[in-house]
Amino acid sequence: MSVIGPKIWIEVSRSALRHNASELRRLIGPGVKLMAVVKSNAYGHGLAQTVECVDAQADWFGVDSLSEALAVRRAGSKKPVLILGYTPLSQLAEAVKRGFSLTAYNPETVDRLAGIATAARPAKLHLKIETGTSRQGILADDLVAMARRISRHRHLRVEGLSTHYANVEDTTDPSYAKRQLRRFGEAVRTLAGQKIVPEIKHTACSAAAMLYPETRFDLVRAGISLYGLWPSESTRLSLAGMGRRIELRPVLSWKTVVAQTKHLPRGTPISYGLTERLAKDSVVAVLPVGYWDGFDRGLSSQGIVLIRGRRAKVLGRVCMNMCVVDVSGIKGVKPEDEAVLLGRQGRESVSAEEMAANIGTINYETVTRINAMLPRLIID
């Protein structure tokens, strides 16, 4: 198939995104709000493109930074935005001015916000509770002091309360997640004792929302599942074992074109370091994609791409902007033929999970590390 356009591009399926959002809506049921987490360029799928596709279905958007929150607004959404990550003190005034909600856990953040917030522009806080992930969050021993610190300032509004689970994706044992949930409940009661009752409680990421309804509270933070990828195989198997069903459709396809083909004799070394020599007379194709683009160097001599509906193995080392694949068994390959790095072509597919297994990582990283400068094209 000959193509016109960029030499490397990502296709984002509008219908798949909206399908996944609908499936998540069905799963969490009425009365629970849906946050579409679009941090890190929407897990590599394109923040603006994702916002455009699911704005009508999402109640909230979740981002990591002020710059991403501003990007949600530039994409046209007026939905509430929660900055999930750390916001530097120097950016707090702009965040409050723009009406974004902020994740808070440091006294320094609270003190700076106290000097910024006004009756007209209150600071909207989502207190993050440390329950066992050992990342950002307020420890149980510090919670009363934090509550009292906040209560001294009338323009600080505790809008939400959250935590994050450390071990729901990679295990079928719910005991640690249940322990974290109990700790979160204790934090809710502690804050109530200080007359702080947030209107939005949220703890559930994709895996927790799927497996443990009791974690959903008022809002679910849907990340990886929104993009049609399972948080883990354990999550998929556990959900099936519970007799629940959710159909996820992968949203992203990553494509390039053939730049050159050539016939090479047996024994010819391929690419840098001479790490692989052809075992037989072969036809190879050069693809203009490499580790700069996010096609990991770990795919050297083992990655798979699709050309003319057939699987083609990466030969030798992946370079910064190029790689070489074996097309000996594929008839008629020529320059400008489409090559699929992730996604489906004909009856064959390369999944994010397959690519991740080849480089010893997880599907999250495989898609998130696709270079943000590559064009994201919305398709139906």
CB under 8 A, 24+ apart: contacts of 310-316: 310/346, 310/348, 311/348, 311/350, 312/285, 312/339, 315/270, 315/271, 315/276, 315/278, 315/284, 316/269, 316/270, 316/271, 316/272, 316/273, 316/275, 316/276
Residue 32 in tokens: 């629970």
Q: Which amino acid is at 58?
A: A
Residue 69 dihedral angles phi and psi, to the nearest 5°: -60, -40
Which candidate in 97, 262, 272, 280 is catalytic? 272
Residue 43 in tokens: 């897990």
Cα–Cα dist 304/300, whole Å:
10
364 is catalytic: no
Bridge partners of residue 314, in order along the sequence? 325
Which candidate in 39, 124, 128, 255 is catalytic? 39
272 is catalytic: yes
The answer to whether the beta carbons of residues 158 and 114 sit under 8 Å apart is no
Cα–Cα dist 248/244, whole Å:
13
Q: Scanning the structure block, which residue is given the tokens 């001294």?
A: 152
The answer to whether the beta carbons of residues 130 and 110 sit under 8 Å apart is no
Q: Which amino acid is at 242?
A: M
CA 69, chain centre distance (Å):
15
* Short-list 258, 253, 329, 311, CA closest to 289: 258
Type and span of the H or E element at 357: helix 352-359
Percentages (nearest 5) of helix, strand, coil residues in the chain: 35, 25, 40
Residue 83 in tokens: 């900055």
Residues known to be catalytic: 39, 272
